[in-house]
A and B are shown apart, each in its own frame.
Chain A
């Protein structure tokens, strides 16, 4: 049954990827946000997702610090106000799940969020309990997406997650990796398992996934979530030593963060990127990248050439 549905969504993708989808969410703030917010379809369902999400690695792991928790809630408020939906976390991220749950409760946004979490435990039999524990931290009725974190015990976890999906206990299933690790295994899972999403690292200087994983995602109808778009800020810091090229204005970029994010989400296979931040200013800047013109293939080549020449 899973194979059949997989074939079906591939056919669906032939139609949905043929067009660039966009929807207007909130255009009340900022010049760039007067343009529609770019969204892309989840390949397996057609559900539209804004191309910029929100990561929580390190940034939301603030423990029981009440002031820092409120700061994180402010970041989430700005994210939602700008039309954002997908927030990603993991049991590996310390208190991040609980902090997201705090923010969702404070902002009353439990139904607005597209909740993406992970299962991260080496004992497959305990995966279901961990997902339930995570769900309670978030305070959501069910997760939209649960991914196998860094492919840990994926052979055991995926059957559990598919069963939970079939039972309506979650909506999508995925796997993750980061910083170029285990790409052969990722390809194997993508080729053999009916997953909805794959999460990988991709940015303007880490483009290994362009060769095989991103084309495979398109072929198999798998959504792509991009983590560590800024190399945990190192890429922004490195770029900040140089002026933004003049041609960045042609695609509506006013800073390097938008330059980098627009490059990522303009790849046809990418569904969304999930930059993490503790700054309200930065989350607004990031969300601006979901507006205005996205680079075409010619512009993408120009962007790469410029960055490689720096």
Chain B
């Protein structure tokens, strides 16, 4: 891109805020009742993380991988790509993240959750619960219709935050490789909202920053 430095975020925004919000409304209507399955998966992840089950790490990684793969196809390819040609690249990123989670957590059994979780692990759990229960409410609290709600497991933003929270719970060395794409998505999502002058634009980058700081701290312990 020539003279790339002269472009602002708003120059790169291809759609209006109204169109972006309507996208979620149409997506939610299209995939119903997949939202219920996603919320059940979120509750299952929370329950499994707290239990001393033999397959819990594999189960959590598998469920997260499913969510990332679903979002790659159902959200990015089938819906977001209709208004943003970059969505096919986002889909590739989400599919890669699904593969990374499946490989590291499911097939290679590289994730380990402490019992009970460390203080940083508890912070990770709080971040996961925030993404599952609180983050979806931000839109309606800002006056957006409930039909446009963004839920964990089917919408990219809360899924990225929830994944970062789960990765903080892991007690082995910090899974930096699994954090790259969720953190990158926090930046992309934040930039999109910023370009749309959305009041919650800084939320995702802020949570990503907190996760990175906590991960760095844990790596030094």
A interface, CB within 8 angstroms of B: 58-59, 61-65, 68, 92-95, 150-151, 179-182, 232, 278
Contacts and interface: CB of A to CB of B under 8 A. Distances in A.
7 contacts: A62-B15, A65-B22, A92-B85, A94-B14, A179-B6, A181-B3, A278-B18
Given A94-B82, A182-B3, A58 B15 contact: yes
Contact of A58 (B14, B23, B79): B14
B13 interface: yes
Given A62-B19, A94-B83, A94-B85, A181 B14 contact: no
Interface in B11-28: 11, 13-16, 18-19, 22-23, 26
A58 B196 CA distance: 12
Contacts of B11: 179
A182 B82 contact: no
Nearest to A64: B82
B83 A150 contact: no
Nearest to B78: A64
Contacts, number: 54
A64 B30 CA distance: 12
Nearest to A63: B82
A176 B172 CA distance: 54
Interface in B103-151: none
Contacts of B2: 150-151, 181-182
Given A61-B15, A181-B3, 11 more contacts: A58-B15, A59-B16, A62-B15, A63-B83, A65-B19, A68-B22, A94-B84, A150-B2, A151-B2, A180-B6, A182-B2
Contacts of B198: none
B82 A278 contact: no
A35 B14 CA distance: 36
* Interface bin, chain B: 10 to 19
Contacts of B52: none
Given A94-B83, A94-B84, A63 B6 contact: no
A180 B11 CA distance: 13
Nearest to B8: A179
Nearest to B22: A65
B16 A63 contact: no
Contact of B16 (A179, A182, A278): A278
Nearest to B2: A182
Contacts of A62: 15, 19, 22, 83
A151 B1 CA distance: 10
Contacts of A180: 6
Contacts of B19: 61-63, 65, 68
B80 to A, nearest CB: 9
Interface string B176-204: 00000000000000000000000000000
B79 A63 contact: yes
A171 B82 CA distance: 29
Contacts of A181: 2-3, 6
Contacts of A65: 19, 22-23, 26
Contacts of B16: 58-59, 61, 278
B125 to A, nearest CB: 36
A68 B18 CA distance: 10
A275 to B, nearest CB: 15
Contacts of B82: 63-64, 94-95
A232 B82 CA distance: 22
B83 A61 contact: yes
Contacts of B26: 63-65
Contacts of A179: 6, 11
